[in-house]
Amino acid sequence: MTTKAIACGRTAWRSLHYFAKRKKCQPIVYRCFWCSIRQSQKTEERIGDGRITHFGFETISEAQKEKKVGAVFSSVASSYDTMNDLMSLGIHRIWKDHFVRSLNPGSTSGKGWNILDVAGGTGDIAFRMLDHATQVNGDHSTKVTIADINPDMLAEGKKRALASKYADTGRLHFVLGNAESMPSMPSDSVDLYTVAFGIRNFTNKDAALREAFRVLRPGGVFACLEFSHVNSTLFNAVYKRWSFGAIPLIGQLVAGDRDSYQYLVESIERFPAQEEFRAMIGDAGFLVPGLGYENLSGGIASIHRGIKPL
C-alpha cells in the first residue's frame, strides 16, 4: 500500500476511486497535499548537509534527481500529449500556439533564426516554430535544435520528425544534453532559446538560466512556457482538487503509471511563483521587459521572457 498526496475535499472524486477499485488498482492511502509540503520541509531540515533538491514533495540529493526525473519522462514519452492534456485540461495546445505566435519566429528579414528548444524532445514546440516561420513569415531557413536530456523523449521526437514535412530538410537537429551545461552549443550563437513545460524538472534552474544566457547572442530572447501558480483563491482550490485528486488516478487508469503523474503535479506546486521566477531570470543577467511574464488561463501556466543585453 502506498501513500499519495491530494487536495482536501476528496469526496468529489469518489466515483473515480470506485472505478479504480473496480479495475483492481493498487490501494492508495490519501493525505492532504499541504501535509505533504510540511513533511517535505521537515525532511529537508533533517537532511541538513549536502546539496539537496526536490522531486515533487520528496526531498532528495541533487545526485538522485536527474535519474528519477529521467525515469518519469522515459515512462511518459509515448503518451506526452496525453499527459499534457490531463494536466492542462486539454488547453496546452492553445497555450503552445499562443507562445509561438507571440515570439513570431522568422519575423526579421534576411537570414533565418537559429532557435534552441530545450527539454523539447518530442518536437512539440519545434514543429510549431518551423510552421510559423514558414507559413506566416515565408522564412524557409530558420532552424531549430531540439535538446533534451532524455533519450526516449528524443527518440519520440525523431520518429515524429520523420513523419513530418521537415524530414531531411536540414532544419531540425536533435541533441542529447543537459540544460545546465551544454558544451556543444557555442556562446552567443542562438537567436531564441525556448523551454516549454520542462524547466520545473531541472535540478539546478539557476545554472540552466545562466547557460541559456551564455548561448544566446546579444539581443537574443529567452522564453519559457511553464505551469505556474493560479492567481484566484477559489479557482486555485478547484484546480488543486483536480490536480491532486484526479490526474494521478487518471494517469494510472489511462497510462498505467500513477507515480509519474503524481510527481508531475507535485512538481508544479514546487515551481517558483511568477514573481520569484521573474527575479531568477533577472539574476541570470537578462533584461526582463515589462511585467516579465504573461499569465495564461488565470495563472495555470505562464510565459516568461528575458532579453540578453546588447
Binding residue numbers for S-adenosyl-L-methionine? 122, 148, 178-179
Annotated binding-site members: 122, 148, 178-179
**Segment (H or E) for 211:** helix 205-215
- Count of residues for the chain? 310
CB 195 within 8 A of CB 119: yes
| 134 Cβ neighbours under 8 A, 6+ residues apart | 106, 140, 142
Residue 83 identity: M
Buried b (16+ CB within 10 A) or exposed e, 14-31: eeebeebeeeeeeebebe
CB 27 within 8 A of CB 35: no
Q: How many CB atoms lie within 10 A of CB 246?
A: 19
Nearest to residue 159, comparing CAs of 41, 261, 77, 269?
Answer: 77
* Grid cell listed for 72: 518519469
**Segment (H or E) for 147:** strand 143-148
Q: If you write DSSP's letter for every residue of 215-274 in order, what string do you get?
A: HEEEEEEEEEEEE---S-HHHHHHHHHHHHHTHHHHHHHHHS-HHHHHHHHHHHHHSPPH
